[in-house]
Structure 1
Amino acid sequence: MAQNEPQAVQVTKSSDGITTITINREHRRNAIDGPTAHKLTDAFLAFENDPVQKVCVFNGANGTFCAGFDLHEVAKYGPGSEKGGYNGPIIEHSHRVQSRNIGPIGPSRMQIKKPVISAVSGYAVAGGLELSLLGDIRVAEDDAVFGVFCRRFGVPLIDGGTVRLQAIVGLGRALDMILTGRGVSAEEALQMGLANRVVPKGQALAEATSIARQLLAFPQACMNTDRTSCYYSTYNASSFEDALSNEFDQGIKVINMESVRGATEFSKGAGRHGKFEKAKI
């Protein structure tokens, strides 16, 4: 890296517990190469393992979320070359990250234990779409575009896109995006549940950070337990009964930790009528 070249992945941590992870490769529209994928993964692992940090805001710098995997890196190695094709460094990189239980584009296969909010500006396409799906909540600017643009280049979704996308928007809508490769506007993304909020251009990061601060105000064990139960029922439960059993088993653990105190606060008038300002658990 040149001395004055900015860091491809920038991380800031606030004292109140918000980690902001930013992809910063403006010259490639924040497309991810091998080294950036590892740096991005390391940033999420650090967030995951830091007990002080409670919520992550994930975004891309300079008006673009992420344009996917850096195809300039792939194009350096032709399929007929000695180092290219299935034996080239891209596949070698993929095998290496597989051993870390992550995806070629970085953390997209991880099951993060704490909330992540994706702040999407500009393009979130191909692998960038897959990375945006890592967020529990996606805040999109009104000019944002989601899409499986890699369809036209013969690049498959191998970073969780076929798994997460259908869970979020449903099989029919997911297949529409995956098969056609068409772009989906922020407004359509909101209608299908791919985006949770749409804000004016330039305001996604601020809105995502505001939501993160709202989450910080809640009892964390209870919130994260409910979050984990949602993911278990979506991806891991063997049956409806299994999902219900897991929900109860996990939820009962936090009753003594937070629920009794919460009920006490409610009896004193805190949190009534949907107002949480006075609730301190």
Structure 2
Amino acid sequence: MSYNNILVNQDQQITTITINRPKKLNALNKETLIELHNAFSEAENDKNTRVIILTGSGEKAFVAGADILEFADFDVKEGSELAKQGQDLVFNFIENLSKPVIAAINGFALGGGLELAMACHFRIASDNAKMGLPETSLGVIPGYGGTQRLPQLVGKGKAMEMIMTARMINAEEALKLALVNYVVTLDELLPLAGKIASKIMQNSPLAIAAAIKAVNAGFKDGVNGYKKEIKQFGKCFGTKDFTEGTTAFLEKRKANF
């Protein structure tokens, strides 16, 4: 599938999706969101993809935010629909994929950009990265899950401060807050993402998919995460990966998943 705003590359079972609007600092517009949905859906259904890496083109920005020109004149109904469509189409969709998604944050990740990174299963950042949710400075609030995911990751108090002040934080502060897992130079960013992806691929894809479901369940209203864990744990016993993993362990060899 061809795209206007993103690049997709697959190498050794790793699919890298790059948002490619450098002149707009990779800002998210409607077309880009649709393309992201299609690219992630394609990777999810591709048997040759085991891990997905999401990044931005250039050295300045992962995603600098949403394209404000597209919604500056929206009314209440249109604004609500914008948030709902975005969450359903991309942000919640990414969070619930069965394949691990690593956000490689290169430069600015602001507003919808940070929300996009937070929808991924975990994040790494370059040392020039800047992150924040500046929406209140525009008279709105984060609408792509930011008010929910940021408190889950950094705690309620810090999330409230970041949202209310609309300030950016640098990569080192993001690391201290556990918003990102690692900070490296820009040149080291994608190689590190690939190294982590390779490590993930040594393990059972079916077990990883089950773990994603179990972990996500603990952050959903009305869902008992412990019960979800028990269910997913039990299901693992009926998989070929469980048979291979336990057999390999007993035979003192490396499992072939």
Q: TM-score, normalised by structure 2?
A: 0.88
Q: CA deviation at 1:32?
A: 1.2
1:247 alignment counterpart? 229
1:262 alignment counterpart? 245
Task: For residue 164 of structure 1, give the secondary structure of its aligned residue in structure 2.
Answer: helix
Q: Does 1:55 align with 2:44?
A: no
1:86 alignment counterpart? 75
Of stretches 217-226 and 59-68 in structure 1, the one that deviates more from structure 2 is 217-226
Q: CA deviation at 1:236?
A: 4.5
Measure the CA separation in 2 of the matches of 1:125 and 1:198.
17
Measure the CA separation in 2 of the matches of 1:31 and 1:222.
35
Cα distance change, pair 153–262 in 1 and its aligned pair in 2 (3 A): same
> Mapping of 1:75-154 within 5 angstroms?
75=72, 84-86=73-75, 91=78, 95=81, 98=84, 102-103=86-87, 107-110=90-93, 111-154=96-139
Q: CA deviation at 1:259?
A: 2.9
Q: Does 1:163 align with 2:145?
A: no
| Contact 1:9 1:39 (8 Å CA) reproduced | yes
1:78 alignment counterpart? none
Q: CA deviation at 1:122?
A: 0.6
Ranges in structure 1 where 5+ consecutive residues have no aligned partner: 1-5, 76-83, 271-277
Q: Does 1:187 align with 2:179?
A: no
Measure the CA separation in 1 of the matches of 2:76 and 2:222.
37
Cα distance change, pair 180–254 in 1 and its aligned pair in 2 (3 A): same
Q: CA deviation at 1:52?
A: 2.9
| Contact 1:121 1:202 (8 Å CA) reproduced | no
Of stretches 41-50 and 137-146 in structure 1, the one that deviates more from structure 2 is 41-50
1:26 alignment counterpart? 22
Which deviations, in whole Å up to 9, do the C-alpha atoms of 1:2-57 show, x marking residues without a partner? xxxx931111123x321111111111111111211211121112222323322110
- Amino acid aligned to 1:117: I
Question: Identity over the aligned pairs, expressed in percent?
Answer: 32
Measure the CA separation in 2 of the matches of 1:150 and 1:87.
16
Measure the CA separation in 1 of the matches of 2:187 and 2:102.
16
Q: How many residues in Structure 1 have an aligned counterpart in Structure 2? A: 251
Q: TM-score, normalised by structure 1?
A: 0.81
Measure the CA separation in 2 of the matches of 1:97 and 1:170.
23
Ranges in structure 2 where 5+ consecutive residues have no aligned partner: none
| Contact 2:98 2:208 (8 Å CA) reproduced | no
Q: CA deviation at 1:219?
A: 1.1
Task: For residue 114 of structure 2, give the secondary structure of its aligned residue in structure 1.
Answer: helix
Which deviations, in whole Å up to 9, do the C-alpha atoms of 1:32-90 show, x marking residues without a partner? 11211211121112222323322110000002100111123345xxxxxxxx44189xx
Matching residue within 175, 186, 205 for 2:190? 205
Measure the CA separation in 1 of the matches of 2:63 and 2:182.
18
Cα RMSD over matched residues?
Answer: 2.3
